Structure 1
Protein backbone atom coordinates (compact mmCIF):
# COMPACT_ATOMS: atom_id res chain seq x y z
CA UNK A 1 0.00 0.00 0.00
CA UNK A 2 1.34 3.39 -0.98
CA UNK A 3 0.77 6.11 1.58
CA UNK A 4 0.17 9.57 0.18
CA UNK A 5 2.27 12.40 1.60
CA UNK A 6 0.59 14.37 4.35
CA UNK A 7 -0.78 17.79 3.53
CA UNK A 8 0.53 20.78 5.48
CA UNK A 9 -2.86 20.94 7.25
CA UNK A 10 -2.55 17.30 8.35
CA UNK A 11 0.96 17.90 9.65
CA UNK A 12 -0.24 20.98 11.56
CA UNK A 13 -3.17 19.06 13.09
CA UNK A 14 -0.79 16.28 14.12
CA UNK A 15 1.42 18.80 15.87
CA UNK A 16 -1.56 20.30 17.71
CA UNK A 17 -2.70 16.81 18.73
CA UNK A 18 0.74 15.98 20.09
CA UNK A 19 0.90 19.22 22.05
CA UNK A 20 -2.56 18.61 23.52
CA UNK A 21 -1.65 15.10 24.64
CA UNK A 22 1.64 16.28 26.19
CA UNK A 23 -0.18 19.03 28.11
CA UNK A 24 -2.90 16.65 29.28
CA UNK A 25 -0.33 14.06 30.35
CA UNK A 26 1.47 16.67 32.46
CA UNK A 27 3.90 14.98 34.84
CA UNK A 28 2.46 11.54 34.26
CA UNK A 29 4.89 9.01 32.86
CA UNK A 30 4.71 8.39 29.11
CA UNK A 31 5.26 4.68 29.79
CA UNK A 32 2.36 4.38 32.23
CA UNK A 33 0.08 6.48 30.04
CA UNK A 34 0.83 4.32 27.00
CA UNK A 35 0.38 1.06 28.89
CA UNK A 36 -2.90 2.24 30.44
CA UNK A 37 -4.14 3.17 26.95
CA UNK A 38 -3.03 -0.14 25.47
CA UNK A 39 -0.55 1.38 23.04
CA UNK A 40 3.20 1.13 22.88
CA UNK A 41 5.27 3.91 24.47
CA UNK A 42 6.90 4.36 21.05
CA UNK A 43 3.49 5.00 19.46
CA UNK A 44 2.61 7.59 22.11
CA UNK A 45 6.03 9.23 21.71
CA UNK A 46 5.57 9.48 17.95
CA UNK A 47 2.07 10.94 18.30
CA UNK A 48 3.19 13.47 20.91
CA UNK A 49 6.14 14.54 18.75
CA UNK A 50 3.93 14.93 15.67
CA UNK A 51 5.73 12.16 13.77
CA UNK A 52 2.44 10.27 13.45
CA UNK A 53 0.15 13.04 12.30
CA UNK A 54 -2.85 10.83 11.49
CA UNK A 55 -3.09 8.14 14.18
CA UNK A 56 -5.93 5.65 14.16
CA UNK A 57 -9.16 6.73 15.85
CA UNK A 58 -9.15 3.87 18.43
CA UNK A 59 -5.61 4.86 19.45
CA UNK A 60 -6.57 8.47 20.05
CA UNK A 61 -9.81 7.46 21.80
CA UNK A 62 -7.89 5.19 24.19
CA UNK A 63 -5.22 7.81 24.98
CA UNK A 64 -7.83 10.54 25.43
CA UNK A 65 -9.80 8.32 27.81
CA UNK A 66 -6.72 7.63 29.95
CA UNK A 67 -5.92 11.35 30.06
CA UNK A 68 -9.49 12.35 30.89
CA UNK A 69 -10.03 14.19 27.61
CA UNK A 70 -13.31 14.04 25.76
CA UNK A 71 -13.16 13.38 22.05
CA UNK A 72 -14.96 16.71 21.59
CA UNK A 73 -12.03 18.45 23.33
CA UNK A 74 -9.54 16.63 21.13
CA UNK A 75 -11.46 17.45 17.94
CA UNK A 76 -11.84 21.09 18.92
CA UNK A 77 -8.14 21.45 19.72
CA UNK A 78 -6.78 19.83 16.60
CA UNK A 79 -9.08 21.86 14.38
CA UNK A 80 -8.42 25.21 16.07
CA UNK A 81 -6.56 28.17 14.55
CA UNK A 82 -8.78 28.29 11.51
CA UNK A 83 -7.64 24.87 10.37
CA UNK A 84 -11.22 23.82 9.58
CA UNK A 85 -11.18 26.27 6.71
CA UNK A 86 -8.17 24.49 5.24
CA UNK A 87 -9.67 20.99 5.35
CA UNK A 88 -10.02 19.10 2.12
CA UNK A 89 -13.65 18.83 0.90
CA UNK A 90 -13.91 15.21 2.07
CA UNK A 91 -12.59 16.19 5.51
CA UNK A 92 -15.04 19.09 5.75
CA UNK A 93 -17.94 16.67 5.26
CA UNK A 94 -16.63 14.58 8.14
CA UNK A 95 -16.17 17.63 10.34
CA UNK A 96 -19.76 18.81 9.96
Structure 2
Protein backbone atom coordinates (compact mmCIF):
# COMPACT_ATOMS: atom_id res chain seq x y z
CA UNK A 1 0.00 0.00 0.00
CA UNK A 2 1.39 3.37 -1.01
CA UNK A 3 0.49 6.33 1.16
CA UNK A 4 -0.45 9.60 -0.46
CA UNK A 5 2.01 12.34 0.51
CA UNK A 6 0.72 14.65 3.20
CA UNK A 7 -0.32 18.14 2.28
CA UNK A 8 1.28 21.12 4.01
CA UNK A 9 -2.05 21.64 5.79
CA UNK A 10 -2.02 18.09 7.15
CA UNK A 11 1.53 18.56 8.39
CA UNK A 12 0.61 21.85 10.08
CA UNK A 13 -2.43 20.25 11.73
CA UNK A 14 -0.16 17.46 13.04
CA UNK A 15 2.27 20.02 14.44
CA UNK A 16 -0.59 21.84 16.19
CA UNK A 17 -1.81 18.57 17.69
CA UNK A 18 1.70 17.75 18.90
CA UNK A 19 2.10 21.16 20.55
CA UNK A 20 -1.28 20.86 22.27
CA UNK A 21 -0.48 17.40 23.60
CA UNK A 22 2.94 18.53 24.91
CA UNK A 23 1.32 21.50 26.66
CA UNK A 24 -1.48 19.37 28.14
CA UNK A 25 1.01 16.76 29.32
CA UNK A 26 2.73 19.48 31.40
CA UNK A 27 4.84 17.80 34.08
CA UNK A 28 3.69 14.26 33.34
CA UNK A 29 6.14 11.95 31.63
CA UNK A 30 5.58 10.58 28.14
CA UNK A 31 5.60 7.07 29.56
CA UNK A 32 2.89 7.94 32.11
CA UNK A 33 0.57 9.56 29.57
CA UNK A 34 1.19 6.87 26.96
CA UNK A 35 0.40 4.11 29.46
CA UNK A 36 -2.80 5.89 30.51
CA UNK A 37 -3.83 6.13 26.85
CA UNK A 38 -2.87 2.54 26.07
CA UNK A 39 -0.23 3.45 23.49
CA UNK A 40 3.55 3.22 23.43
CA UNK A 41 5.72 6.10 24.53
CA UNK A 42 7.34 5.99 21.07
CA UNK A 43 3.95 6.53 19.41
CA UNK A 44 3.30 9.52 21.67
CA UNK A 45 6.78 10.86 20.89
CA UNK A 46 6.11 10.60 17.16
CA UNK A 47 2.78 12.39 17.48
CA UNK A 48 4.21 15.15 19.68
CA UNK A 49 7.13 15.78 17.33
CA UNK A 50 5.05 15.70 14.16
CA UNK A 51 6.64 12.52 12.80
CA UNK A 52 3.16 10.94 12.93
CA UNK A 53 1.00 13.90 11.88
CA UNK A 54 -2.14 11.87 11.14
CA UNK A 55 -2.69 9.50 14.08
CA UNK A 56 -5.74 7.27 14.16
CA UNK A 57 -8.91 8.72 15.65
CA UNK A 58 -8.94 6.19 18.48
CA UNK A 59 -5.35 7.09 19.40
CA UNK A 60 -6.25 10.78 19.55
CA UNK A 61 -9.39 10.00 21.57
CA UNK A 62 -7.39 7.89 24.04
CA UNK A 63 -4.80 10.66 24.45
CA UNK A 64 -7.51 13.26 24.93
CA UNK A 65 -9.05 11.13 27.67
CA UNK A 66 -5.71 10.55 29.39
CA UNK A 67 -4.97 14.28 29.32
CA UNK A 68 -8.44 15.49 30.27
CA UNK A 69 -9.01 17.21 26.93
CA UNK A 70 -12.30 17.21 25.07
CA UNK A 71 -12.33 16.13 21.45
CA UNK A 72 -14.13 19.39 20.67
CA UNK A 73 -11.22 21.36 22.12
CA UNK A 74 -8.78 19.34 20.01
CA UNK A 75 -10.74 20.07 16.84
CA UNK A 76 -10.90 23.78 17.57
CA UNK A 77 -7.22 23.98 18.47
CA UNK A 78 -5.98 21.93 15.55
CA UNK A 79 -8.27 23.25 12.82
CA UNK A 80 -6.55 25.32 10.22
CA UNK A 81 -7.73 28.83 9.66
CA UNK A 82 -8.08 29.32 5.91
CA UNK A 83 -5.83 31.98 4.48
CA UNK A 84 -7.88 34.76 3.11
> Please, which runs of 5 or more residues in structure 2 have no aligned partner?
none
> Please, which runs of 5 or more residues in structure 1 have no aligned partner?
87-96
Other-structure match for 1:29: 29
Alpha-carbon shift at residue 3 of structure 1 (Å): 0.3
Aligned length: 83
Calculate the TM-score normalised by the size of structure 1: 0.84
CA radius of gyration, larger in: 1
Calculate the TM-score normalised by the size of structure 2: 0.95
Alpha-carbon shift at residue 72 of structure 1 (Å): 0.2
Other-structure match for 2:12: 12
| Structure 1 segments of 4+ aligned residues over 6 angstroms from their partners | none
Other-structure match for 2:66: 66
